[in-house]
Amino acid sequence: MMIGLSEILELGLPLVLDPSVLLLAVVGTLTGLFVGAMPGLSSVMAMAILIPLTYRMSPQQAFGLLLPAYAAGTFGGAISAILLNIPGTGAAIMTTYDGYPMAQRGQAGYAIGLSCVYSFVGGIASAVFLAAFAPIVAHWAIRLGTREYFAVAVFGLAVISYLSSSLIKGLLGGALGLLLATVGMDVFTGVSRFTFGRAELAGGLEFVPVMIGVFGLGEILHTVDAGTREGAQLPQKIGRMLPELKHVLRCIPTAIRAIVVGMFIGIIPASGPTIGAVASYGLEKRIGKRRDQMGTGVPEGIVASETANNAGTGAAIVPMITLGIPGDAVTAVLLGALMLHNLRPGPALFTQRMDVVASIFILFFLGNILFLVFGLLGAKFFVRVLKTPQRILLPIVAALCFIGAYAARRSVFDVHVLVLFGVFGFLIRKIGITPAPLILGFILGPIVESNLRRGLITTGGSVSAFFARPVSALLLTLTLVLLFSPLLIRLAQRLHSALQRQPGKGASD
C-alpha cells in the first residue's frame, strides 16, 4: 500500500509518456485556461463537457485530459478576476480584491504573472502532498467497515450542505441527490424503483447526462436568464507578464502560510479550494506584514488567494481517491470519471490498480507545469478571448453539452435526461439551491444506502451500533453538531442576552 517516489515513476511514467496522453494533457490545460478565464463558465462546466470525450479512452488518457484541466481552470479564474473584477471561478473570488486594483494601476500583466507563478507553487505543493499522503489515508481506510463508510459519506454531505448559502437549502439539495440515486433496480431485493416502466432507467440514471445537465446546461440557462454580457472592456495596458525574482521571493512567507491553509482545508471532505482561498486571504489580512494595505492592490493579496486555492486542488483529490468523498464540485466530477472507467475509489484502487494511481499523481504534477508554461506564454491570448460575447460563446457550449450527453452511450434517451436536468438545474438555482450538494448526494447515494442497509442487517437493525465504533461515532457526532449548529448558536446568543439583562448587570454603584 505504501509507495515511494521510485515506484510511482516506475509504474506511472510508462502510462504517462504515451504520446496520446501527453497531447491530451496539453488539450486539457488549454481548455481549463480558456474556460476558467471566461466569466459565466466554470471549471465544473469544463469537466462536465470533457468527461463524455473520455468514455472510450483508457484511464490514463481520461485523467491526462481531466486533471490538467482542473489545475489550469483553478488558475484561469484569476485572469478575469484581475482584468474585469469578475472571478472566472469561485476559487478566484478573493483575487479580485487586490488583482483588479493592480490592473487599474497598469500592472495587469504583473498581477497575472504573479498569480500564475504562485498558483504553480501551490499546485506543485499539493501534487507532492497528494502523492505522499493519499497512500497513507488509503492504508488507514482499509480498517474502515460498513458503518465507518456510511458515517464518512453522511459527514461529507453535511459539510457541503452547511457550506451552502443556506443550510436548509443545502440539505434539500443533498436529499434530492440521494433520492435520484435510488432510481433503478434495488441491488438488495431486485425490485425496480422510480423507473416509471422505462427500461432505460433499470440501471439507474446515467451520471454523464445528469451531471452535464445540472452543471452545464443549467448554468447556461441561468446565465441567459441573468443577462448575457458583450465583449469585455479590458485595460489598455497589460504590461510585463513575468514578475521579477525579487518580487516573487518577497511573497514567500505569504505563500507558505497559504499552502498550509489551502491543503488543510482542501483535504476536509466537501470543502475545496474556494474556502481555502477565503481562509488564507483572511489570515493574511490579520497577521500579514502588509495587512493594513490588503484590498488596495498589494501582491500579497493575490499570492494568499492563488497559492491557497491551487494548494487545495491536490488536497481535495485525497479524500476523493481514498474514501470516495469529493473535496469539492470538481472532484465530484472526477469521482464520476473514476466510476465511468470502472475504477472504484478506496483502498482497493491502491492495491489493484496502483499503476493508474501512480499515473494520476504524475499527471496532476504535469498539469501544474503545463499551466505555468501556457499561462505565462499564452496569457495575452486568453486576455483577447475575454472579448468574446457570451451570445456567441454560450450556444457553442450548449451544443457541446448535447453532443457530450449523446456521445457517451449514443442514446437519445440520455439527451432527454440532459434537457430535463438542465431545466431542473436552472430551477434549483432560481430558488437558491446550489448544484454541488445535489450532485454529491447523487454520487454518494449508493454508498450511503448500501452501507446503511448492510450495517442494519449485520447489527440486527440497531441504530445505536453505528455509534459503537470510534470513527463512525466521531463522524456522526460531528455531523449532528454541524447540522444543529445554527440552532445551538441562536440558543447561546439568547442565553447571553438573557444574562446581560439580569438586574444589576452593568449598573454602577
Q: What does the alpha-carbon distance between residue 378 and residue 422 come to, in Å, rounded to a whole number?
A: 33
- Smallest Cα–Cα separation from 363: which of 91, 136, 115, 70? 70
Which DSSP category does 40 fall into?
A: T
Query: Does residue 504 lie within any of the structural domains?
Result: no
Residue 508 pLDDT greater than 50, yes or no: no
Q: Which pLDDT score, from 0 to 100, does residue 29 have? A: 92
Query: Does residue 503 lie within any of the structural domains?
Result: no
- Smallest Cα–Cα separation from 55: which of 380, 410, 292, 312? 410
Tens-place pLDDT, residues 390-414: 777 788 888 888 887 887 678 899 8
Q: Which pLDDT score, from 0 to 100, does residue 325 have? A: 77
Query: Does residue 330 lie within any of the structural domains?
Result: yes
What's CA 343's distance to the chain center, in Å?
19
Average pLDDT, rounded, for the chain? 83
Proportion of the chain in helix, strand, coil states, percent, rounded to 5: 75, 0, 25
Residue 509 pLDDT level (bands cut at 50, 70, 90): very low
As given in the structure block, the three cell numbers for residue 368 are 501544474
Tens-place pLDDT, residues 271-311: 667 778 888 888 888 887 877 888 788 888 999 999 998 99
Amino acid at 408: A
Instruction: Tell me how many domains the chain contains.
Output: 1
Query: Does residue 509 lie within any of the structural domains?
Result: no
Residue 255 pLDDT greater than 80, yes or no: yes
Q: Which pLDDT score, from 0 to 100, does residue 87 have? A: 73
Residue 16 pLDDT greater than 80, yes or no: yes
Query: Does residue 498 lie within any of the structural domains?
Result: no
Which residue has better confidence, 161 or 109?
A: 109
List the domain range (segments joined by +) for residue 58: 5-492
Which DSSP category does 217 fall into?
A: I
Query: Does residue 501 lie within any of the structural domains?
Result: no
Q: What does the alpha-carbon distance between residue 293 and residue 461 come to, in Å, rounded to a whole number?
A: 59
Q: Which pLDDT score, from 0 to 100, does residue 278 have? A: 81
Instruction: State residue 353 phi and psi, 5-degree precision.
Output: -130, 55
Tens-place pLDDT, residues 23-53: 999 999 998 888 887 766 677 777 877 888 8
Query: Does residue 202 lie within any of the structural domains?
Result: yes
Compute the average pLDDT of residues 312-333: 82
Residue 237 pLDDT level (bands cut at 50, 70, 90): low
> Whole-model pTM?
0.77
